[in-house]
Structure 1
């Protein structure tokens, strides 16, 4: 109800300024301006409209912080730390496996692809073999590791399209993505950060009312009946 009343009073204040030309005389317009300023420009009447006592307003001004620290929210540091640990645990096995693959299988052929490739794929699939006449379908261990690491789903699609078989790797990845999406949608670090961020760029209702009342006070009177005879004759002159 408070929000509805606030919107109605804002609309009333705006309509008073827009329809100032409907006043019949200067004194009527001055009375309207005084009424608007008394109703929306003074704290006592404005607090009554917004249902906000003056003592409570002063107390909130004294106790309210200037800016909310998003990292000071309860439980946010724990969630950030858990997320960092999860990312670190997911990353650490990759360089370890890459080191072992590079150390143990350098210069060795790991497998042969069941389809032919062009010579442009030679630097990617035969990184540790310095031969120019070896078929590109022979793949080294470290190259196969990078292919699996960076393009498992794409490679499975190539196998599926070439042999007409279903994809082998997309189902676990889809389950993983669904789990991550479920965690993010249910809450977590991002949601808490968004809730902790202060809402900038949204002026308070008191400031809007005072601004509109000041704008109405400087509007000069111009009645709709000014030169009404000349405008009427000019309209039906033709």
Structure 2
């Protein structure tokens, strides 16, 4: 602490209050106002939302259904999981949920001649330009009028790795990392004002900084490519996507989430030693699980209790006089 205090005293700087009044606060206010205006203009450009295509939504929801089954199949019994898995695999292979089952056999034409695709691409480019232009103008305004300004000092110490992020536009190597330049203040506001925009504009607003960065990297092509478009802008081959999802379902093995739950509860609350679970897993790996799955639930519980009572750890506990349930 002594060295840090000495370093703070050496780099103590007094900022003019005019910097706070004419640089710090105006940048934040301008960014808030620009975000609100951009949201309203984006809403006007969007116009009346188009109705979703029923068949396209059916394709997307079918793929989501397969992913949900693979991710949360442990909450279903084995017979229910296998029934759903078989049904979806057959549907994906036959193309039951495809919008156009014969699309893969048809010759692919020029996608730019499709009016719907061209309209979607132009809408995406207009929205992205509304996101890129305001941020470019604000950055140029800050660079021209407030280049090299030190605006604020953070109330906590930071490592040297934050220097390039917090002191952009200030070419000094000895300044404390806690000082923030004007250009870095712009980026902090760009990502930190999202809660303010949500409070003012509500959820789902158009003043999203992450969408701005994605728009700058894709230059309008990413928004035009919806869920039915491939990475090159061509329509995706849904038949191949469904076959890929079918393979993923076929490779998914079912693991019952409530298997051996009685023993796990007893081990959790200290009624059985943890080594009982280890012994049970070893017995299951040797093939005892197949006989347990074929038996009834009552006999399975009896076998679990028998395995727990016959384990070496439980036997040792009984010899020592400890209570076992």
Band the TM-score falls in, shorter-chain normalisation = 0.3 to 0.5
Q: TM-score, normalised by structure 2?
A: 0.29
Larger radius of gyration: 1
Which protein, 1 or 2, shows the higher relative CO under an 8 Å CA cutoff with sep ≥ 6?
1
